Amino acid sequence: MATITLKSLAHSYLAQPRNPQTHPQDYAIQALDHVWKQGGAYALLGPSGCGKSTLLNIISGLLSPSQGEVLFDDQVVNALSPEQRNIAQVFQFPVVYDAMTVAENLAFPLKNIKMPKAQIKIKVREIADLLELTDSLDKKAKNLSADQKQKVSMARGLVREDVSAILFDEPLTVIDPNLKWKLRRKLKQIHEQLNITMLYVTHDQLEAATFADEIALMYQGKIVQFGSPQELFERPNHSFVGYFIGSPGMNFIPIKKSEEGKKNEKDKGRVFYQNISLAISGSQQAALKSCHSTNLKLGIRPEFIELSETYEANSFPASVLSVQHLGSYQLVVVDFAGLEMQVRVAEKMQFSGAGVYLVFPSQWLKLYIDEYLVGEPVLVNKGDYKSENHE
């Protein structure tokens, strides 16, 4: 059991990586600082190839990082092997020892640490009951179905109690959706029982949100945001978080500080998309004032756009391109002055024509400068997340 600290960690798969400042593309992981607290249930979320498996293998000791340090509590473990770090890890594809029975598979890690036989038996039985493997304990592992193999694989990870942490590398990829749900809840229960740090790598936001208390979202070798699922949803720190979290992701409107060729006193506190002017908050105006970048975007989630067929104050006309009925809600794709936007509305809403009006509530309209969120009112008591651009 340990708190895992990553200190300015970087990793490159190249033999001779160039300077990380000038050639970030050489690095699978870039200058990463992070703390995984003892006993937490964390998810490492990100698209394929963002470096999450690399990070996991560095923590477990299967990979040695090119730069930086990994600490378990106060001990630097860079030079220690996985067995010395006392880590359990479950891999994406089931790894079972073919020649053994399920019971022998589960007993294997315990046998290797020389636990007494009687104790092994009790422990194996316990973990098999937990994962509903009791009936197949005497079967040869190679005759199991893929999802059962993965259960065996997971059980082997969970069977040792004294581990520093358990790492899961997309463990539910091969398992069918119904069982996935059950196993995820099982893992959560196990976590509550054992109080072991668990780190769960996935590219599925739903999986991450149901398993973890806090999610670290990785993008291009960096953790771009770390927070609760709600924080990731409501205040995406980076435009990629907005795009990646939620289904569908955030809508982005490219904006300019002022309308082309005109400078008008009454435009103060507004930004422009083509010739449409949008109001922004005071703190957003302040952030905008001091920046010179032209990479400016407003982001708003499809859930927060209000759509109606009648004109109201501060609403903008748009035309409906398509409507998908998705059961509990409908997804409307609209054309907002040449920009395709997605809006989520209640299933019962009916459309008579193609013309609609959109309202963008100001508290959900987020401002991104160079892809990072700015101009948010500072939250109190939320130590872990910064709203300011930290580059």
Query: Shortest approach of another protein to residue 85 CB, angstroms?
Result: 9
Segment lying near another protein (by CB under 8 A), choices 26-34, 91-99, 125-133, 255-263: 91-99
Cβ proximity to another protein, 164 vs 225, nearer residue: 164
CB-wise, 163 or 217, nearer to another protein?
163
**Segment near another protein (CB under 8 A); pick from 5-13, 72-80, 107-115, 238-246:** 107-115
- Laid out side by side, the sheet with 339-346 consists of 306-308, 355-359, 316-325, 329-336, 339-346
Touching another protein, residues 299-358 (CB under 8 A): none
Shortest spacing between CB 131 and another protein, in angstroms: 17
Q: Which of 123, 156, 184, 235 binds another protein (CB under 8 A)?
A: 156
Among 99, 206, 286, 349, contact with another protein (rule: CB under 8 A): 99
User: Does residue 83 belong to the site contacting another protein (CB under 8 A)?
Assistant: yes
In DSSP notation, 109-177 reads: HHHHTT--HHHHHHHHHHHHHHTT-GGGTTSBGGGS-HHHHHHHHHHHHHS-SS-SEEEEESTTTTS-H
Biggest distance spanned by C-alpha atoms of the chain: 83
Contact region with another protein (CB under 8 A), list: 38-46, 138-146, 262-270, 341-349: 138-146
Residue ranges in 63-82 that form contacts with another protein under rule CB under 8 A: 81-82
Check residue 162 for interaction with another protein (CB under 8 A): no
CA distance 18 to 22: 8
Size of residue set near another protein by CB under 8 A = 28
Using an 8 Å Cβ cutoff, are 124 and 103 in contact?
Answer: yes
Contacts of 143 (CB under 8 A, 6+ apart): none
- Rule CB under 8 A: choose which of 35, 62, 174, 337 binds another protein: 62
- By CB under 8 A, residue 144 contacts another protein: no
> Which CB atom, from 127 or from 296, has the smaller least distance to another protein?
127
Residue 98 within binding range of another protein, rule CB under 8 A: yes
DSSP codes, 238-303:
BHHHHHHSSSS--EEEE-BSS-TT---GGGTTEEEETTEEEE--HHHHHHHHT---S-EEEEE-TT
Going by C-alpha positions, the residue among 128, 12, 131 that lies closest to residue 67 is 12
Would you count residue 87 as binding another protein (CB under 8 A)? yes
Q: Where does residue 151 fall: left (phi above 0), alpha (psi -120 to 50 degrees), or beta otherwise?
A: alpha
At 51, give phi and psi (nearest 5°). Answer: 105, 5
Annotate 85-105 with three-state secondary structure: HCEEEECCCCCCCCCCEHHHH
Stretch that binds another protein, among 109-117, 277-285, 302-310, 379-387 (CB under 8 A): 109-117
* Of positions 95, 331, 333, 337, contacts another protein by CB under 8 A: 95
Which lies closer to another protein via its Cβ, residue 93 or residue 311?
93
Burial class (CB in 10 A: 0-12, 13-18, 19+), 106: buried
Residue type, 34: H
Per-residue binder mask for another protein (CB under 8 A), 357-386, x = binder = ------------------------------
Query: Residue 140 or residue 186: which is nearer to another protein going by CB?
Result: 140
Using alpha carbons, select from 326, 322, 315 the residue that is nearest to residue 342. 322
Assess 256 for contact with another protein (CB under 8 A).
Answer: no
Cβ nearer to another protein, comparing 39 with 82: 82
Burial class (CB in 10 A: 0-12, 13-18, 19+), 4: buried
C-alpha to C-alpha distance for 45 and 390, rounded to whole angstroms: 20
342 token code pair: 């997605």
Q: Is 294 in the site for another protein (CB under 8 A)?
A: no
Q: Considering beta carbons, is residue 154 or 373 the nearer one to another protein? A: 154
Give the residues lining the site for another protein (CB under 8 A).
60, 62, 81-83, 87-89, 91, 93, 95, 97-101, 108-109, 112-113, 138-140, 142-143, 153, 156-157
